[in-house]
Amino acid sequence: MADLEIRDLRVSVEGREILKGVSLDVSKGEVHAVMGPNGSGKSTLSQTLLGHPGYKVEGGRVRFKGQDILELTPDARSRLGLFLALQYPIVVPGITMNNFLRTALNAHRGYDGKDKSKSVSPKEFRTLVEPYLETLRIDRTFLSRYINEGFSGGEKKRAEILQMAVLQPEVAVLDETDSGLDIDSIKYVSEAINKMRGPELGVLMITHYTRILQFIKPDYVHVMVAGQVVESGGAEVADRLEREGYAQWGEEVA
């Protein structure tokens, strides 16, 4: 049994069916890449997995660690061990990155404001976060800034990966983390993800292009076209897409 099981998932947005029966398995220790043209349903899949209310599940099921999660709130899914790095991170003025990250980590540990043993201390937090600040080439003053306020596109994406490092999920969904990044930022983000890669983390990485896959080698590649997974295989699938594109699926890609 996979840690994350997606079976015949059908999802609509504003009455229009986007996902038309998607099935995938992701387990800890595996890196899966989902590739496809614009409008194929990749971001719909990521948003649905974490419970965005704008996406209506019409059928199918999603189980994580043996539990049906489709009825759980986004924060409950997060505490269970799922994580989503957003394609378009939002600005949250008035809340510093430091406070946000510590509060999120405390929530994951079940801290209710009373039992201090479940609260992360400032020293422990620094020990956890500072190695990733270095890997992601983020200055420590970054933590005193408001969430994504005045951040460049690269800083926003690196902030998402920093959140992932702090929360230590069991399965992370990365929604086009590479979009809008220059080659240096892609290298920094990839280095941090590879640093976290291991038997306790599964990754579902959504991307248009193969360039990030040059740095993060996937175990499996899935091709999504018109709301369905039309092919799955190893890294050779991405290599073929780099050469041939999505033309073999014809008008469905238009």
Specify the range with the lowest mean pLDDT, choosing from 64-73, 104-113, 139-148, 150-159. Answer: 104-113
Please name the residue ranges forming H helices in 111-216. Answer: 122-135, 153-167, 183-196
Q: Compute the mean pLDDT over every residue in the chain, rounded to the nearest whole number.
A: 91
Of all residues in the chain, the percent with pLDDT exceeding 90 is: 74
102 φ, ψ (degrees, to nearest 5)? -65, -40
Q: How confident is the model at residue 251 (pLDDT cuts 50, 70, 90)?
A: very low
- The structural domains of the chain, ordered by start, are 4-95+169-253 (3.40.50.300)
| Alpha-helical runs (H) found in the chain | 42-49, 74-80, 97-108, 122-135, 153-167, 183-196, 235-244
Please report where in the chains the tokens 């306790």 appear, as a residue. Answer: 200
Neighbours of 129 (CB within 10 A): 21
- Kindly indicate the confidence band of residue 121, based on its pLDDT and cuts at 50, 70 and 90: confident
Q: Is the pLDDT of residue 254 over 70?
A: no
Answer whether 0.85 is exceeded by the pTM: yes
List, for residues 172-210, the tens digit of each pLDDT value. Answer: 999 999 888 889 989 999 999 999 999 999 999 999 888
Query: In terms of C-beta distances under 8 Å and separation of at least 24 residues, what long-range contacts does 158-161 make, across chains too?
Result: 158/185, 158/188, 158/189, 158/192, 159/89, 159/97, 160/85, 160/86, 160/89, 161/85, 161/132, 161/136, 161/189, 161/192, 161/193
Query: If pLDDT is split at 50, 70 and 90, which confidence band does 38 have?
Result: confident
In this predicted model, what pLDDT tens digit does every residue of 52-98 receive, in sequence order? 999 999 999 999 999 999 999 999 999 999 999 999 999 999 999 99
